[in-house]
Amino acid sequence: MIYAARARNVGGMFIFPHGIHVDRQGNVWVTDARAANKDELEKFPNAKGKGHVVVKFSPEGKVLMT
């Protein structure tokens, strides 16, 4: 997948990336299906406030919308 190399720049952005869609303009939409649970937050405190979001990326990998 072409987008795999560009996705390296989003490490740590998602808790549970679940869905991906490429629209007609080449933008990539990714859904984060859930938030971190208590045990995960203890292990990864920077995960607080992440999850349950849809993110739109440009074909170049820039975040366009959350």
- The model's pLDDT over 11-29, given as tens digits with 9 standing for 90+, comes to 678 888 889 999 999 999 9
Element housing 4 (H / E): helix 3-7
Distance (Å, whole) CA 2 – CA 17: 18
Whether pLDDT at 47 is above 70: yes
pLDDT at 9: 52
Band the pLDDT of 4: cuts 50, 70, 90: very low
Contact 50, 25 (CB under 8 A): no
- The edge-to-edge listing of strands for the beta sheet with 63-65 is 17-22, 28-32, 53-57, 63-65
Does the pTM exceed 0.95? no
User: What are the residue boundaries of the structural domains of the chain, listed by start?
Assistant: 3-65
pLDDT at 2: 44
